């Protein structure tokens, strides 16, 4: 079982979600295709378990970062850890924290985030909503980033920079009267850093939460 998940994660890390195939996995494990079904009942479950396998480390890292005086700072640290994990492994995005019953570490992470809100002066419902918002935000930005770029970029025929700059050129070519905002931010877009972008949005969310908690 352990080996199945380790090899599955390796396959995902090396070549992305499309590379994880029962046949490819069986080949790496030196066995037959069918044997994987002894450990896992479907590909969906395999992906859930692979994701949760990786979340064990993420959870450990997140736990290390909590315990400061300020629960909102802790919330920030946890969210950043999650972001880093998905930035490292884009395939995680899709199977991240699905509370399916086979994701114990995902559940523990949910709990850890929630516990920070227990330290804030909020109603139960506000706490529930705050946690949903933080997780939703992380997943959303991650999904946006993890969007697999077109084939040519994946194959290395076109570099990420060229891809981005082609994008930027396309934006610049748009009608300035119809797209004032696009033109307004295109320079910032050109040099933007995903982590900064994530961090800035997270700050808005947490500022709203701090206001609500009166902290």
Partner DNA sequence: ACCTGAACACCGTTCAAGT
Q: Is 37 in the site for DNA (CB under 7 A)?
A: yes
**Out of 61, 114, 168, 172, which residue is the one contacting its own copies (CB under 8 A)?**
114
In contact, 112 and 78? CB cutoff 8 Å: yes
Q: How far is CA 152 from CA 70, 84, 89, in A?
A: 46, 25, 20
Q: How far is CA 19 from CA 52, 111, 142, in A?
A: 19, 32, 20
**Out of 24, 102, 158, 186, which residue is the one contacting DNA (CB under 7 A)?**
24
Distance CA 173, CA 10 (A): 41
Q: How far is the CB of 27 from its own copies (least distance, A)?
A: 26
Q: Is 15 in the site for DNA (CB under 7 A)?
A: no
The binder of 35, among its own copies, DNA, none, by C-beta within 5 to 8 A per type, is DNA
Q: Is 170 in the site for its own copies (CB under 8 A)?
A: yes
**Which of 1, 84, 110 lies closest to 49, judged by CA?**
1
Distance CA 207, CA 215 (A): 10
Distance CA 142, CA 112 (A): 20
Which residues, numbered 111-150, are part of the site for DNA (CB under 7 A)? none
Q: Give the interface with its own copies as residue ranges (CB under 8 A).
A: 98-101, 107, 110-111, 114-115, 117-118, 124-133, 135-144, 147, 150, 167, 170, 174, 178-182, 184-185, 187-189, 192, 196-198, 200-209, 211-212
Q: Give the interface with DNA as residue ranges (CB under 7 A).
A: 20-24, 26, 30-35, 37-39, 41-44
């Amino acid at each position: 079982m352990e080996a199945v998940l380790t090899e599955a994660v390796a396959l995902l890390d090396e070549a992305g979600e499309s590379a994880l195939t029962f046949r490819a996995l069986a080949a790496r494990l030196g066995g037959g295709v069918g044997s994987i079904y002894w450990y896992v009942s479907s590909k969906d479950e395999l992906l859930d378990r692979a994701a949760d396998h990786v979340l064990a480390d993420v959870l450990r890292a997140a736990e290390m970062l909590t315990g400061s005086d300020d629960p909102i700072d802790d919330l920030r640290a946890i969210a950043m850890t999650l972001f880093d994990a998905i930035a490292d492994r884009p395939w995680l995005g899709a199977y991240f924290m699905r509370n399916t019953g086979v994701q114990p570490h995902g559940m523990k992470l949910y709990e850890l985030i929630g516990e920070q809100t227990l330290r804030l002066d909020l109603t139960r419902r506000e706490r529930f909503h705050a946690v949903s918002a933080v997780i939703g935000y992380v997943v959303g930005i991650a999904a946006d980033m993890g969007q697999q770029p077109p084939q040519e970029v994946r194959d290395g025929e076109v570099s990420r920079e060229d891809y981005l700059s082609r994008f930027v050129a396309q934006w610049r070519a748009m009608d300035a009267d119809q797209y004032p905002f696009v033109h307004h931010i295109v320079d910032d877009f050109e040099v933007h850093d995903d982590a900064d972008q994530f961090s800035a949005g997270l700050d808005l969310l947490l500022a709203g939460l701090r206001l609500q908690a009166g902290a």
